[in-house]
Structure 1
Amino acid sequence: MKAWRWILLLVIVAALAAFGWHWVAEDPGYVLLRLRGWRVETTVVAAVVLLLLAWALLVLLWRLLGWPFGALTRRHRRISRQRLGEGLVALMEGRHGDAERDLQRASRLDALRGPALLAAAEAASRRGEHGRALETLDQAGQAAPRAARVLRARVLRRDGKPAEALALLAPEADAGTLTPGGWRELALAALASGDLRRARAALEPLQQSGALGPRGYAALEERVLVASLDAAPDAAALNTLWTQLPKAQRRLPAAVEAYARRAAAFGMILPAMDELESALRREWSSELVQAWGALGDEDLDARLRRAEGWLDAHPNDAGLLLALGRLCVKLKLWGKARQYLERSLALAPGAGAWEALADVHAGQGDAAQAQRAYRNALALTRGEAAHPLPTGSAAVLIDTRPIAIEERDEHGVPRLRP
């Protein structure tokens, strides 16, 4: 399509040139120049051509005269760009002192002043010199005010001043003109300063911008929601906040777990269990079933039967086995509790399972084994390795191998497990 346009344009130009030539050929015009005895006679076309040639000659002379000065300018521009590149590489490599020096030099070129000063401020902030970073941002604000404001908020937050960072970004947030990076800094500063309402308000524009990507946004959203639910002062405030959250946020496993944990702390065991069970019906989650098994001491027999029903569909879920073990501990079913917990440890060793197993041994009066299990729980909490418990000759060996089950999709085709 573009080729046809060029061809059509060339045809039009050729036609205009042909008509123009005939029009000029009929009457080329007459120009007379007389100056101090000099007399020049020519046609209008020739005069126009002479004027164009004279103009081209003057431009060429001007450029030749300005070439030495232009060479200096080009050299300054080339060196500044080189220093900008070297400074950015040094910043990524962690050589923050070299980065700041190169970037400050690169900022002497007006075209690079804003980006270079912003990167220099980031280098100074990473070195811990927050005062120097703020001074650099004062200069960068003249070239890139919005970016400098966002970076200033980040420096203040790193310096332990989230309230100042929040106050800096709040006017633009209220006006709805904050950049995606500004919304992220606003959410983090609001989290750090305890203003959870503003942190939740920053989630929607962040999601719409797509600046963080799915994983980054999901992690930030989880932090904000969990912190908001944990900060609820009473049961009424917790229920109000939970009902005001969008439906998609109320379905997040981390939010459901935080709500159930906080509701249980206020004595609302049944609402907490209802939310957890509803979430488990929508989508199975090992973390949620662990939280469900740790809720209160109400209706233990019925909960144990329900959990054992889930075991048929999820026999290799360490979280479900841990929940069963904890329920059996509360019911003082020591043998069943030990079987569930040892199987859970074989599948996925965790501090919670070791602690529950220690409760089993303590309930059976075996203080030595209980102490060893408690030590393993503490070791895993610290990131250390756990040691297996010694078994006596009379101990019953429990099969802790994963159970292989066949899963099929909606078409009846067997599904391969990863």
Structure 2
Amino acid sequence: MRVWRWILLLAVVVTVAAFGWHWVAEDPGQVLIRIRGWRVQATLVTVVVLLLLFWGALTLAWRLLRWPFGAVTRRQRAVSRKRLHDGLLALAEGRHGEAERDLGRAARHAPQRAPALLAAARAAHARGDSKRAMEALDEATQSAPQAARVVRARILREDGRAEDALTLLAPEADAGRLPPGGWLELAEAALLRGDIDRARSALEPLRKSGALDAGAYAALQLRVLSAALQRAPSVDALHALWADLPRVQRRQPELIAVYATHVSRFGRPLPAMDEIESALRRQWSPALVAAYGQLQGQDVEGRLRRAEGWLDAHPGDATLLTALGRMCVRIQLWGKARQYLSQALALEPSAEAWEILGETYAGQGNPLLAQQCYRNALHMTRGEATEALPGTNAVRQVALTVDPELRNAHGVPQLPDDKTSV
């Protein structure tokens, strides 16, 4: 397609030139120059061509005269680009000392000054020299104030000075002049300081900027909203905040779990139970099941009966078995709790299940087994191997060799994947 465009353009140029030449040939015009006895007479076309040639020769001569003087500048520019290139590579590879040196030299050339100083600040901070990082940012502020502010806020936040980062970004945020990176740092610093309103105010500018992809933005939004729910000062404020959320967000299992857990702590377990049970009817979620087992309130027997009814559809869910064990411990059904927790540990060992099993043995008056369960819970949090309880090896081996019945999210039995053996 581009070839045809060039051919068409060439045809137009040729046509215009032909008609132009025909128009000029009829009356080429006449130019007379007379000065100090000299007399020059020529056609207008000839004069125009001579003027163009003279202008081209003058331009060429000027460039030839400037070339020796610009050689030094061109070399400085090439060396500066090479140092910026090497400095950025060294920064990416973790050679922070070399990166800081190369980037500092690259900053001597004006066009590379701002990016080189910003990268040098990151290198100095990664090397542990916060003072030098701040000095580089002070210099970068003269060329790129917004970028320097964002990098400074990130360094302050990473150094545990979230309040200083928030103070730095707040004026520009109130004026609506922060770049996307500034809004992100504002949200992160506000979360660390517990300023949830400020963190929520940064979400909409971030969404409009498109600086984060859908997954990253959803994760940040989930963290901010979860923190907002957790820090609600009263049950009325919690209900108001929950009601103000869009319906899509009120259907997220993670947010439902946070809301239900927090509202039950205010002594209102019924709304929490309703939210979780409604959500589980729509879609099965281990996070909601775990939250269901942790709800506060007195109606533990009723919740236990409902959760035991879910076993028919999800017999091999370790999270459900752990939640059942937790509820049994609360109402001191030690034998049933031990049964559920042993099955959960056989299917998917977890520190939580070991800890609750320790509470079970402690409630039964067996401190030795309780202490061993607590040790196993600590080992799992550290990523270390656990020790089998006395007399439970055979039971655990049998449980591991029996595959649980597979069902989908609606409780319908499924066949396992077809595996052809030779």
TM-score (norm 1): 0.89
Q: Quick check: 101-110 or 122-131, which moved more? A: 122-131
Residues 230, 258 of structure 2: 8 Å contact kept: yes
Q: Quick check: 189-198 or 13-22, which moved more? A: 13-22
Q: After TM superposition, what 4+ stretches of structure 1 lie above 6 angstroms from structure 2? A: 392-397, 408-415
Per-residue deviation at 1:57? 1.4
2:179 is matched with 179
Q: Which residue identity does 1:88 align to in structure 2? A: L
List gaps (5 residues or longer) in structure 1. Answer: none
Residues 207, 217 of structure 1: 8 Å contact kept: yes
Q: Which residue identity does 1:338 align to in structure 2? A: R
1:168 is matched with 168
Q: Which residue identity does 1:354 align to in structure 2? A: W
Please give the alpha-carbon distance, in whole angstroms, between the structure 2 residues aligned to 1:396 and 1:159. Answer: 47
1:48 is matched with 48
Q: Are the structure 2 counterparts of residues 367 and 281 from structure 1 closer, same or farther at C-alpha, using a change threshold of 3 Å?
A: same
Per-residue deviation at 1:349? 0.9
1:280 is matched with 280
The yes-or-no answer on 1:361 pairing with 2:361 is: yes
Residues 284, 409 of structure 2: 8 Å contact kept: no
Q: Quick check: 315-324 or 299-308, which moved more? A: 299-308
Superposed counterparts of 1:23-102, under 5 Å: 23-102=23-102
Q: Are the structure 2 counterparts of residues 397 and 408 from structure 1 closer, same or farther at C-alpha, using a change threshold of 3 Å?
A: closer
Please give the alpha-carbon distance, in whole angstroms, between the structure 2 residues aligned to 1:409 and 1:9. Answer: 66
Residues 380, 386 of structure 1: 8 Å contact kept: yes
Query: How far does the alpha carbon of each residue in 1:262-303 deviate from its partner, in whole angstroms, 9 at most, with x for none?
Result: 222222222222222222223211122122112235333332
Identical aligned residues as a percent: 59
Per-residue deviation at 1:416? 5.0
Q: Which residue identity does 2:70 align to in structure 1? A: G
Superposed counterparts of 1:16-415, under 5 Å: 16-296=16-296, 298-391=298-391, 399-400=399-400, 401-405=402-406, 407=408
Q: Which residue identity does 2:146 align to in structure 1? A: R
Q: Are the structure 2 counterparts of residues 373 and 281 from structure 1 closer, same or farther at C-alpha, using a change threshold of 3 Å?
A: same
Please give the alpha-carbon distance, in whole angstroms, between the structure 1 residues aligned to 2:39 and 2:258. Answer: 99
Residues 31, 47 of structure 1: 8 Å contact kept: yes
Please give the alpha-carbon distance, in whole angstroms, between the structure 2 residues aligned to 1:218 and 1:417. Answer: 36
Per-residue deviation at 1:67? 1.1
Per-residue deviation at 1:66? 1.1
Name the SS for the 2:40 alignment partner.
Answer: strand
Query: How far does the alpha carbon of each residue in 1:9-63 deviate from its partner, in whole angstroms, 9 at most, with x for none?
Result: 3333222222222232233333344445544333222222222222211111111
Please give the alpha-carbon distance, in whole angstroms, between the structure 2 residues aligned to 1:189 and 1:90. Answer: 29
Please give the alpha-carbon distance, in whole angstroms, between the structure 2 residues aligned to 1:48 and 1:393. Answer: 103
Per-residue deviation at 1:190? 0.9
Per-residue deviation at 1:119? 1.3
Query: How far does the alpha carbon of each residue in 1:219-238 deviate from its partner, in whole angstroms, 9 at most, with x for none?
Result: 32232223222222332332
Please give the alpha-carbon distance, in whole angstroms, between the structure 2 residues aligned to 1:351 and 1:25. Answer: 98
Q: Which residue identity does 2:218 align to in structure 1? A: A
Residues 376, 386 of structure 1: 8 Å contact kept: yes
Q: Are the structure 2 counterparts of residues 410 and 314 from structure 1 closer, same or farther at C-alpha, using a change threshold of 3 Å?
A: closer
2:13 is matched with 13
Q: Are the structure 2 counterparts of residues 417 and 296 from structure 1 closer, same or farther at C-alpha, using a change threshold of 3 Å?
A: farther
Q: Are the structure 2 counterparts of residues 397 and 132 from structure 1 closer, same or farther at C-alpha, using a change threshold of 3 Å?
A: closer
Please give the alpha-carbon distance, in whole angstroms, between the structure 2 residues aligned to 1:5 and 1:410. Answer: 64
Name the SS for the 2:316 alignment partner.
Answer: coil
Please give the alpha-carbon distance, in whole angstroms, between the structure 2 residues aligned to 1:118 and 1:359. Answer: 54
TM-score (norm 2): 0.89
Please give the alpha-carbon distance, in whole angstroms, between the structure 1 residues aligned to 2:178 and 2:409. Answer: 48
Residues 408, 415 of structure 1: 8 Å contact kept: no
Please give the alpha-carbon distance, in whole angstroms, between the structure 2 residues aligned to 1:409 and 1:365. Answer: 40
Q: Which residue identity does 2:153 align to in structure 1? A: A
Q: Are the structure 2 counterparts of residues 65 and 48 from structure 1 closer, same or farther at C-alpha, using a change threshold of 3 Å?
A: same
Q: Which residue identity does 2:160 align to in structure 1? A: G
Residues 229, 241 of structure 1: 8 Å contact kept: yes
Please give the alpha-carbon distance, in whole angstroms, between the structure 2 residues aligned to 1:29 and 1:214. Answer: 69
Residues 343, 399 of structure 1: 8 Å contact kept: yes
Please give the alpha-carbon distance, in whole angstroms, between the structure 2 residues aligned to 1:393 and 1:280. Answer: 34
Residues 264, 297 of structure 2: 8 Å contact kept: no
Name the SS for the 1:399 alignment partner.
Answer: helix
Q: Are the structure 2 counterparts of residues 234 and 25 from structure 1 closer, same or farther at C-alpha, using a change threshold of 3 Å?
A: closer
Name the SS for the 1:41 alignment partner.
Answer: strand
Per-residue deviation at 1:245? 2.9
Please give the alpha-carbon distance, in whole angstroms, between the structure 2 residues aligned to 1:146 and 1:393. Answer: 63
Q: Which residue identity does 1:262 align to in structure 2? A: H
